[in-house]
């Protein structure tokens, strides 16, 4: 079994440089392992996130299409969002699925978690599969959310992953976890 052996670096100072409702930017003065001179590193502290692979009884995957400011274009993704204060990730997953898509289920399984971008971000994304999802209500979107909901056959979705239409890194991480966990779905 593989074991991580690199030691932690010594953080001398952690100073919040800027804050927003979604993340805060921190400057950390860090001494690398085995060295004596500190160096600055910058980290975005963000809340935990969740992503949901929601499957219907017809083996369709429930997807959200929305505009993303970072890349200035719309993307096709699985439902997801932030874990609110006081929430556990599974509660957030159930809430986000219902809010973004109107779908619900009682069949949930955790697929694990992934570091969102460990080079510069402090948070993890918790990944879930929700099976036998059914549409229960209209989406209840937050202010300024503009989402179209799609239900596509799972194989069609996997083709969109393969061709690069679906390119969100955390969505791809969820798909890889799904296929490792349930190779029968491929």
pTM: 0.93
**Is residue 22 located within the same domain as residue 54?**
no
Same domain, 78 and 158: yes
Do 78 and 165 belong together in one domain?
Answer: yes
Q: What is the pLDDT of residues 3-37, one digit of tens each?
A: 999 999 999 999 999 999 999 999 999 999 889 99
Q: 164: pLDDT confidence band, cut at 50, 70 and 90?
A: very high
Tens of pLDDT along 64-77? Answer: 999 999 999 999 99
For residue 60, pLDDT beyond 90: yes
**Residue 179 falls inside a structural domain:** yes
Identify whether residues 81 and 114 lie together within a single domain: yes
The reply to whether 104 falls in a domain is yes
User: What angle do helix axes 169-181 and 154-163 make, rounded to 10 degrees?
Assistant: 130
Print the domain residue range for 116.
Answer: 49-185
């Amino acid at each position: 079994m593989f074991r991580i052996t690199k030691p932690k670096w010594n953080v001398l100072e952690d100073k919040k440089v800027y804050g927003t409702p979604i993340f805060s930017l921190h400057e950390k003065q860090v001494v690398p392992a085995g060295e004596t001179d500190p160096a600055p590193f910058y980290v975005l502290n963000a809340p935990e996130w969740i992503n949901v692979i929601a499957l219907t009884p017809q083996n369709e995957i429930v997807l959200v299409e929305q505009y993303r400011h970072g890349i200035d274009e719309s993307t096709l993704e699985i439902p997801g969002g932030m874990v609110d204060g006081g929430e556990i990730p599974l509660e957030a997953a159930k809430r986000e699925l219902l809010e973004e898509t109107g779908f619900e289920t009682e069949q949930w399984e955790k697929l694990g978690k992934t570091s969102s971008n460990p080079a510069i971000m402090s948070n993890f994304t918790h990944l879930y599969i929700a099976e036998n999802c059914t549409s229960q209500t209209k989406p209840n979107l937050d202010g300024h959310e503009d989402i179209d909901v799609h239900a596509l056959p799972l194989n069609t979705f996997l083709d969109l992953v393969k061709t690069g239409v679906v390119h969100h890194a955390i969505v791809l991480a969820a798909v890889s976890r799904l296929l490792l966990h349930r190779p029968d779905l491929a």
